[in-house]
Amino acid sequence: MTEPVADIALIGLAVMGQNLILNMNDHGFVVCAYNRTTDKVKSFLENEAKGTKVVGAFSLEEMVSKLKLPRRIMLLVKAGPAVDGFIDKLVPLLSLGDIIIDGGNSEYQDTQRRTEELEKKGILFVGSGVSGGEDGARYGPSLMPGGNPKAWPHIKPIFQSICAKSNGEPCCDWVGETGAGHFVKMVHNGIEYGDMQLICEAYHIMRNGLGLNPQEMSDVFGEWNKGVLDSFLIEITRDILKYKDGKGYLLERIRDTAGQKGTGKWTAIAALDYGIPVTLIGESVFARCLSSLQGERIEASTVLEGPNAVYQGDKKQFLEHLRKALYASKIISYAQGFMLLREAAKIHNWNLNYGGIALMWRGGCIIRSAFLGNIKQAFDKNPKLTNLLLDDFFAKAMKECQASARVTVATAVTLGIPTPALSTALAFYDGFRTARLPANLLQAQRDYFGAHTYELLGAEGKFVHTNWTGHGGNVSASTYDA
């Protein structure tokens, strides 16, 4: 019988898995490494893990035998059937109270199902968001665990040791029940899509509208990174813009078709499912879809007319408008993301700590930024805050920046430069601050063609139908919606 020596096992030795193992080893935990292709285990032990306390296993049975109780097993494998496949193989080898952790980008509905199914078998399941890429995995990721709360005391020491720290506080805490951890990670990734698209639009305006060269643009992003926009994505944009190889600036030779792995799309779908207007993330997903139509765009560029203008005004002054527009749009994006979190929490009875989530995103992850500290403060001040835009700090920031957002979007429209994310941020802001929207006409239209009824001001809750044409009926539709 093998003596249990390992604190945790990790299945999946791609770059994220290997780096997380080495990170855990650095913090004094003994990790058992396993991979379906066992040659990878041998190679990892002889190379990257050489000289560490990492132990290997060449079968699931051997791996389980090396684990201390309660057994903790983390999966870093492709989301979907692969996760279910490993769970099915592991369950017969485990005991009551053992813990399986899925650290991949799984859909939150799958995590909900797995948590509930495994609880019936006495196994504690955790679905944890892991953000920060390979560098974060190695030196401190942002971790967002959710699932069966009974598992948290057993994984907390490991997770809070290996995660990133922000002002000494761990960028990891228990998120909530069932699929909450993966839902929060999904929204994180959606916000990441939004941040990246906003930055790309600012770059597009600088390059095509202002005619700045890559070094000049890099200098602008470098300056912006010293203020309220201080963030990982602004920092790497500064570095990407000025990067040169033997042929010159590399960025200008990269094909302009964006890839995506699905988490931004999932966020947009969830927004539609829950009826929350997360417009900026939605537009960011569609912008990637449009970029992939490169052949059609190239053909359209020779056929379709539009302005081909260059900005004629004071460039320095306009860059300040652009900076403020980017900041205002970023605030809108996060406000929308937290609206979606709040609605999901209400529907699934998750007890989400919104300030804690902002702290989890302060370090280690792709959207880490100084600005998240202000979000944490907003929720610390008022845990029942319904919308970030109603917090004093963010309301004041929007007051100072909204005029610049208008100048920026209007200028981009005049120059013929597409700004789907910047434009929708402004449209949402104006919609949200409008006490009376034109949906009264929309309701009248629905009632006219489909007898869908409407409510009158002052008589809310009472639904009435009008025979608008005189030859329609007086019976309203109650069995379907259009």
446 labelled ligand-binding: yes
Tell me if 132 is assigned to a ligand binding site: yes
To the question of whether residue 459 is assigned a binding role by annotation, the answer is no
Tell me: is residue 77 an annotated ligand-binding position. yes
Identify the helix (H) or strand (E) that includes residue 200. Answer: helix 180-204
Active site residue 396: no
b vs e for 370-408, b when ≥16 Cβ sit within 10 Å of the residue's Cβ? ebbebbbebbeeeeebeebbebeebeebbeebbebbbbb
343 is annotated as an active-site residue: no
Which among 164, 73, 170, 163 has a CA at the least distance from the CA of 125? 73
Q: Judge whether 13 is annotated as a binding position.
A: yes
Instruction: Please tell me whether 17 is known to bind a ligand.
Output: yes
Q: Is 189 annotated as a binding residue?
A: yes
**Is 470 labeled as ligand-binding?**
no
Q: Is 323 annotated as a binding residue?
A: no
Question: DSSP letters along 294-313, please?
Answer: HHHHHHHHTT---------S
147 is in an annotated binding site: no
Q: Which of 40, 185, 265, 376 is catalytic?
A: 185
CA distances from 9 to 19, 55, 419 (A): 13, 9, 46
Give the C-alpha separation, 138 to 7, whole Å. 18
Which residues have CB under 8 Å from 389's CB, separation 6+? 331, 332, 335, 395, 398, 429, 432
Catalytic residue chosen out of the listed positions 107, 177, 192, 201: 192
**Cα–Cα dist 195/35, whole Å:** 35
Binding site annotation covers 114?
no
Query: At 81, which helix (H) or strand (E)?
Result: helix 81-90
Is 179 annotated as ligand-binding? no
* 452 carries a ligand binding annotation: yes
Please check whether residue 191 is in contact with residue 183, taking contact to mean a CB–CB distance below 8 angstroms. no
Contact between 68 and 94 (Cβ < 8 Å): no
The token pair at 231 is 């963030």
Ligand-binding annotation for 25, yes or no, is: no
228 marked as part of a ligand binding site? no
- DSSP lists the bridge partners of residue 142 as 131
The answer to whether 406 is annotated as binding is no
41 annotated ligand-binding residue: no
32 CB-near residues (< 8 Å, 6+ apart): 5, 6, 8, 9, 10, 54, 55, 56, 57, 63, 66, 67
Is 53 labelled as part of a ligand binding site? no
Instruction: Tell whether residue 351 is among the known ligand binding residues.
Output: no
Concatenated DSSP letters for 139-157? Answer: H--EEEEEE-GGGHHHHHH
What Rg, from alpha-carbon coordinates, does the chain have?
Answer: 26
Residues contributing to the annotated binding site for substrate: 105, 131-133, 188-189, 193, 261, 288, 446, 452
**Catalytic amino acids?**
185, 192
Give the residue ranges of the annotated binding site for NADP(+). Answer: 12-17, 35-37, 77-79, 105
Residue ranges for the binding site?
A: 12-17, 35-37, 77-79, 105, 131-133, 188-189, 193, 261, 288, 446, 452
